Amino acid sequence: MIALMKRLGVISAVVLALGVAAGAVPQVMWQLPTAAPKDSIWEKALTDMTAAWARDTGGRVRATVFAGGKLGTEASIVRAMRVNNYQASLFMVTGGLAQIDDGFNALAIPFFFKDDAEMVAVRDALTPDLEKRLNAKGFHLLSWTTGGWVRLFSVNPLRTLADIKKAKLWTSDTDVKMTTWYKTNGFNPVPLDANAAASQLKIGMIDATPSPAYLALLLGMQNNAKYMLDVNLGPFLGALVVTTKAWNAVSPEDQAKLTAAAKVFETKTSVEMPANDAKAVTEMKARGLTVVQMAQKDLDELYATVGKLTASMRNDMVPAEMFDKAVAARDAYRKKK
């Protein structure tokens, strides 16, 4: 028996040595938690992407998706990734990405963009800088995603800037600077957990909340907030990121395969989410939602006033160089258009 065990030990050592000599890559196992809702387009696209990772790398890189905030909020996921408890995640700009680096706030300035083309122009112009800022914090950007446009859902119709300022408006309890900005500029923010907006509408703690239409439909928000202001507050942007430590553990050849699959995820969600945003509005209208159109004079006042107010975000909420680059990219696109 002892002789047999010795022989097996020798065989195992030889097999291991041959594997190393042949350049075998150890299997990489990642956990990918996200606050994206379960059974949503994001979860399905992430699941398809991780399946492609496993297939295209021959099983060398595998990842498990945990959707619906099962493993925590975006802020807590960021903290866990910093100590390598999790390796990748899909974050929103106003959530986990801004927690990692406030340069992402340049893509979350209220009423800064008017349409998709402006958003894409600015996002693409800022991407190289944002990638560098992420890398400096120990993260790597794989791809972007979008969830359509954030609109204001409210218990009472909001038709003017004055109406918006009076509303008890949900803001994230993790974004102290944004809450302070709203207060300073005459709004009435109510900081709450991101998962509490729908329930707090029901009990009257808030009477207005920003949300993309698709997410609002998933949460049944139209049951309590029966009005939607048809003005783009901002794009619901997100990005897929991985820790630098986890990324560097993957071979360059497999990194290219992971990036390719992540770009498919970006394209798929960027096409499907805006389409489903429009479908969600139609569905909620059938369930009693009223879409409020702002009169042109009130819309002009809104953009003019908020345009002046958002300048105060420069160097406080948004690093000056990122704010200036965002403004320059947007204005250059508008001039070209």
pLDDT by residue, tens only, the chain of 337 residues? 444 444 444 444 433 333 333 444 558 999 999 998 888 889 999 999 999 999 999 999 999 999 998 898 898 999 999 999 999 999 999 889 999 999 999 999 988 998 889 999 999 999 999 999 999 999 999 999 988 899 999 999 999 999 999 999 998 887 788 889 899 999 999 998 777 777 888 888 999 999 999 889 988 889 999 999 999 889 999 999 999 999 999 999 999 999 999 999 999 998 888 888 889 999 999 999 999 999 999 999 998 898 888 888 999 899 999 999 999 999 999 999 7
- The model carries a pTM of 0.84
Q: How confident is the model at residue 24, as a pLDDT?
A: 44
Q: How confident is the model at residue 101, as a pLDDT?
A: 95
Neighbouring CB atoms inside 10 A of 259's CB total 13
Whole-number Å distance between alpha carbons of 90 and 70: 13
Q: How confident is the model at residue 294, as a pLDDT?
A: 95
Q: How confident is the model at residue 11, as a pLDDT?
A: 41
Whether 220 contacts 198, CB under 8 Å = yes
Structure tokens at 75: 């802020």
Neighbouring CB atoms inside 10 A of 12's CB total 10
Q: How confident is the model at residue 160, as a pLDDT?
A: 95
Q: How confident is the model at residue 277, as a pLDDT?
A: 87
For CA atoms 70, 74, 76, 81, give the dihedral sign.
Answer: positive
Whole-number Å distance between alpha carbons of 124 and 141: 13
